[in-house]
Structure 1
Amino acid sequence: MTDDRAALAEQYADGANLEARIALHENYEVADRDWWPWVFDRYDLPADADVLEVGCGTGDLWRENADRVPAGWDLLLTDFSPGMVADARETLAGAGVAAEFGTAAAESVPLPDDSVDAVVANHMLYHVDRDAALPEIRRVLRPGGRLYATANGESNAAALRELRAATTAWEPSDIGQFTLENGAEQLADHFNEMRRHERETYLRVPDPEPLVAHTASLESVGPEGVEAFAEAAAERLADGPMEIGKSMGLFVAETEPAE
């Protein structure tokens, strides 16, 4: 395991850090449509589809769309973190969504060739070796199968990132390696057709606590950095809520259909 993957494994040993980050967006986003329903709106699959999710995290996509998942879908949720898989299993059980689960990395998918109709990859392709993961995803998809991959734009949460960088030793992750701006070019090497759906919204945060919790969940920010950020955030919000622009979206990439 590389040093980067070891750090990632520690950061995502379970869903605690991820949930702290998600909470900021779920509780303070200003949008006409919540994120996970917006993503699910763009799924166009047969009623009996076989669906694989790589990097499933805590399974929030399925919890938030539990009443929309067709009974005929066979879901397999995987993550390289056993703790995440355990959290996802609990999430889906509570939501009443039937699924199978497995611990696996996206670079080595434990399925035969041409075995699923769709692969879901939510905000995780920037974490993996895409030279290995994208061919694996393509391998397991049937002819006419689809990859649904969410990503951030390069301007996403710029105001929050600037405040954090000015007050802590935080360094951006490798998130810029797969974005709304550069993801299409990377996917084009493996897929026949592609569409990009963009969703621009913003956060309106009235007090510093959720910003501090989000920052504290990051691996490279220590206690001193959190304290400095908390002081800066309180000063920044003293005159009113902080508005933070977001840029997020979804790629739909298709394999070549059967002849």
Structure 2
Amino acid sequence: MTDYYTSGEFAKRAHVSVRTIRYYDQQNLLKPSARSKGGARRYSDADFAKLQQILLLKYLGFSLGEIRGLTLGASDRRRLLDSLQIQRRLVEERIEEMTAVEAAIDSTTQTLEAGKPVDWSRMLELLHRSTMTQSLKTQYQNATNISARIRLHRDYSMNKEGWFPWLSRQLDLTPGLKILEIGCGNGELWATSHDRLPEDCQFILTDISEGMLADAKKEIGEDSRFSYDRCDAAHLPFADEEFDLVVANHMLFYCDDIPQVINEVRRVLKKGGRFCASTYSKRHMHEITDLVQKFNSQIVLSSVNLYDRFGLDNGEEILAPFFAQVTCQRYEDAIELGEAEPVISYILSCHGNQNALLLDRYQEFKQFVEDEVTGGFHITKDAGTFICRK
């Protein structure tokens, strides 16, 4: 077995203890690629690459449970590239955070040495920056998940116009509008139609996540038409009748109190203003659910059927009490593909129990999906948007 390392050789190469290698095996983080006839662990160069990823994520402050979710299936090139990009972003954020902390410490030290009163609010700001670490981890995991879902739709959808350009057309943007988006995510809606946006419109993008707003800023780039505000959609910090158009792209079903959010949207809309609320039906992507449950009937990709909360089948009934006119526009599309990786990435990005149930059977699951999609795999898409007028 000359192509493999013993546990001792592997640990020495990675500058960790053999005990650590064994512990990662027990925790289902890093299984050996092979075993000797006597049952001893044997590791490959591919295992070494995965170990480096685990050690980096551990250094960045992720728990073993979080690392397990991020590294599941990371031998797939696309998932590994996505993970490395997110890790780089986290490193950049940590450098910025530590630079700010260093500056605050230096400032406080100079103040004390000069015998002047210390600005303790500055020190509280330092502590606040330190507590941002946990939220950054969660936000960037979410951004990774969003990217996996967007990629499946973008690269394999039959409708070449794409969801975001189509939705942008439904907004019917004209010069001089003041536009609010609630739950903007990574800003993809505006980034994809950036060159076609009217020059004298004003866009205010909001999200409850600072990480998502940061992604939106980077995606859209420098543009004086855009401003960003972190806020809860159920309590919008804007005046009555301030906006001509409010957009909620696939986000209402995530809200705890949907009627409250809709009422806030109505409040900030001008008389005659429009509300665009997109969603999907129970038919949307049902082949994905059928696929995973064929492999394991216990897998649930979402603990809540979001279309039951606000979907194409019940959305008009939910919106009608708040608006004088509600119409529905459906987006005609489907997904056709013949490769497993994009489907697997999509499945692992979902918010259900799939990662825990697939952990010990990932290679088996990968082979199962490859067998199912070879020769062509069809995925139904049934999405659209409600256009409401106040």
Q: Please report how far the alpha carbon of residue 201 of structure 1 lies from its aligned counterpart in structure 2 after TM superposition.
A: 1.2
Match of 2:194 in 1: 66
Match of 2:20 in 1: none
Question: How many residues are aligned here?
Answer: 246
Q: Please report how far the alpha carbon of residue 237 of structure 1 lies from its aligned counterpart in structure 2 after TM superposition.
A: 1.8
2:185–2:212 contact (8 Å) kept in structure 1: yes
Partner SS state of residue 47, structure 1: coil
* 1:119 lines up with 2:246 in the alignment: yes
The residue type equivalent to 1:41 in the other structure is R
Residue 347 of structure 2, aligned match among 194, 215, 220: 215
* 1:187 lines up with 2:314 in the alignment: no
Question: Where in structure 1 do 4 or more consecutive aligned residues deviate above 6 Å?
Answer: none
Q: Please report how far the alpha carbon of residue 189 of structure 1 lies from its aligned counterpart in structure 2 after TM superposition.
A: 1.2
Match of 1:100 in 2: 227
* 1:235 lines up with 2:383 in the alignment: no
Which segment drifts farther, 159-168 or 75-84?
159-168
* 1:247 lines up with 2:375 in the alignment: no
The residue type equivalent to 2:263 in the other structure is P
Q: Please report how far the alpha carbon of residue 32 of structure 1 lies from its aligned counterpart in structure 2 after TM superposition.
A: 4.7
* 1:225 lines up with 2:390 in the alignment: no
Match of 1:136 in 2: 264
Larger relative contact order, structure 1 or 2 (CA cutoff 8 Å, min sep 6):
1
Partners of 1:234 and 1:206 in 2: CA distance:
8
* 1:203 lines up with 2:338 in the alignment: no
Partners of 1:251 and 1:88 in 2: CA distance:
24
Partners of 1:14 and 1:91 in 2: CA distance:
16
TM-score calculated relative to the size of structure 2: 0.60
After superposition, the Cα gap between the structure-2 partners of 1:33 and 1:71, relative to the gap in structure 1 and judged at 3 Å, is same
Partners of 2:276 and 2:380 in 1: CA distance:
23
Partner SS state of residue 237, structure 2: coil
Q: Which structure is higher in strand share?
A: 1
Match of 2:306 in 1: 175
2:181–2:206 contact (8 Å) kept in structure 1: yes
TM-score calculated relative to the size of structure 1: 0.89
Q: Please report how far the alpha carbon of residue 45 of structure 1 lies from its aligned counterpart in structure 2 after TM superposition.
A: 4.1
Match of 1:31 in 2: 159
Q: Which runs of 5+ in 1 are unaligned?
A: 1-8
Match of 1:3 in 2: none
2:333–2:381 contact (8 Å) kept in structure 1: yes
2:289–2:301 contact (8 Å) kept in structure 1: no
Q: Please report how far the alpha carbon of residue 110 of structure 1 lies from its aligned counterpart in structure 2 after TM superposition.
A: 1.1
The percent identity for this pair of structures is: 30
Q: Please report how far the alpha carbon of residue 53 of structure 1 lies from its aligned counterpart in structure 2 after TM superposition.
A: 0.2
Q: Which has the larger radius of gyration?
A: 2
After superposition, the Cα gap between the structure-2 partners of 1:13 and 1:117, relative to the gap in structure 1 and judged at 3 Å, is farther
Partners of 1:44 and 1:204 in 2: CA distance:
30
2:173–2:197 contact (8 Å) kept in structure 1: no
After superposition, the Cα gap between the structure-2 partners of 1:252 and 1:197, relative to the gap in structure 1 and judged at 3 Å, is same
Q: Which structure is higher in helix share?
A: 2
Cα deviation code 1:99-127 (max 9, x no counterpart): 00011121111101110011010001100
2:301–2:351 contact (8 Å) kept in structure 1: no
The residue type equivalent to 1:200 in the other structure is E
Q: Please report how far the alpha carbon of residue 223 of structure 1 lies from its aligned counterpart in structure 2 after TM superposition.
A: 5.0
Q: RMSD of the alignment, in Å?
A: 2.1
Partner SS state of residue 105, structure 1: coil
After superposition, the Cα gap between the structure-2 partners of 1:132 and 1:44, relative to the gap in structure 1 and judged at 3 Å, is same
Cα deviation code 1:135-181 (max 9, x no counterpart): 01111000001011111122011111211233352243341211111
Q: Which runs of 5+ in 2 are unaligned?
A: 1-136
